Structure 1
């Protein structure tokens, strides 16, 4: 999950209502993911207004969810059209095959390393990525090791600030 200036108040209320706590892992600036052949792919930085002519890819949130729960930051930014998808494989295929974009942390998952580039978006917005845990639960030894591994990987990642 991530928190930003736009969704933090709504998400914190949802966390409180569910009796869970948010544990930050890292902070990151917003990045644009495009295919390596996209006209914007060679840029060092992209301004938000440059994205308005391109289709935006976003994950389907269901009919009952608010845009505060969007997987992508800055869901309110203007775009020519929005193509909703339900899985990362489709997102990767769309990014590498067509001239759309998605917004994220800038951290590329292993399946997204080929054919996709991450370019910083010219904005002051920051994302705090983390996980939630129910307040009555204690992490298992396995979960503690997993979180330690996440911190190790985060420490090796470019463009993120570990928390």
Structure 2
């Protein structure tokens, strides 16, 4: 197997036929077919089912192509870093949806006077954060761990050879817009929330329910759940509707004036922290980012950091 063969397989899958794939790759169809057969022989699987109606991807092939795309993505990162014209180093961090992370990220970029790095911040699903760090797509990941999800999260950390380092320990809060009926409450209970819809950040299809980002499961008998994938939409929903979001209560950005955070009476504690690959020596820029994170995350609730 070589990387070129992986690329051939991905192009065939995208093109839907060997003829079209060969045209895109500027090679003979017979040579392409031979390369794919060698790849299938090497791994003792059938990636494509060849019929008169065209090429179809087998179940084995779908799984194999998923891994192939991951590998090719990492090869592209390496080539861009070491062989491309751009000699700047890329610092990438993936995280759940926290405004203190984006604030810290912006501060990091602003302090780079020499413009010696390229930067990437990805706000994404819990599973994707874990996978991004596992595959070195991101050097660091930001996650929330509590009693409900820690067993599953720790299984992923062990399986992916990752380490979690806590930044702080926080009690559960709700986020609501300033005009929400509960906005003036000093403390809210779970019963108070059942009359209102919840807001939740969407996770990957098929993900374990224990990988949800929120600090509690959606309540029974509530007025439905609104799923979003980005913080901007979440903020708009909270400001314009009676929805609420369960979270850590950390709110550090310019959006503070648009909403309120209220402690939950049935509060539990959880930890916000960063993950990295085990035994990894962090880059200087990653260490700077962590230092800024530690300064920007508020003091822990009830427990020492």
Report TM bin, short chain. Answer: over 0.9
1:82-123 CA distances to partner (integer Å, 9 max, x unpaired)? 111111111100111111100111011415313110000112
TM-score (norm 2): 0.51
- Say which SS state the counterpart of residue 113 (structure 1) adopts: helix
1:37 to 150, 167, 179: 179
Higher strand share: 1
User: 1:145 matched to which residue of 2?
Assistant: 288
Partner SS state of residue 63, structure 1: coil
Q: Which one of the candidate residues 153, 175, 192 is aligned to 1:50?
A: 192
1:4 matched to which residue of 2? 146
**Structure 2: runs of 5 or more not aligned:** 1-142
**Rg larger in 1 or in 2?**
2
Structure 1 unaligned blocks of 5 or more? none
1:132 alignment partner in structure 2: 275
Distance 1:34 1:124, change over 3 A: closer
The aligned length equals: 161
SS in 2 for 1:27: strand
Residue deviations 1:28-81 (CA, integer Å, cap 9, x gap): 000000000101000000001110110001011121211111111112533321
Contact kept? 1:106, 1:159, Cα under 8 Å: no
Corresponding residue for residue 74 of structure 1: 216
Root-mean-square deviation (Å): 1.5
**In the alignment, is residue 83 of structure 1 matched against residue 226 of structure 2?**
yes
**Residue of structure 1 in register with 2:162 after alignment:** 20
Stretch deviating more after TM superposition (29-38 or 135-144): 135-144
- The answer to whether the 8 Å contact 1:45/1:122 transfers is yes
In structure 2, distance between residues paired with 1:21 and 1:117: 33
Q: CA offsets, 1:101-151, max 9 Å, x none?
A: 001110114153131100001123111110111113111111111111111
1:101 maps to 244
Partner secondary structure for residue 114 of structure 1: helix
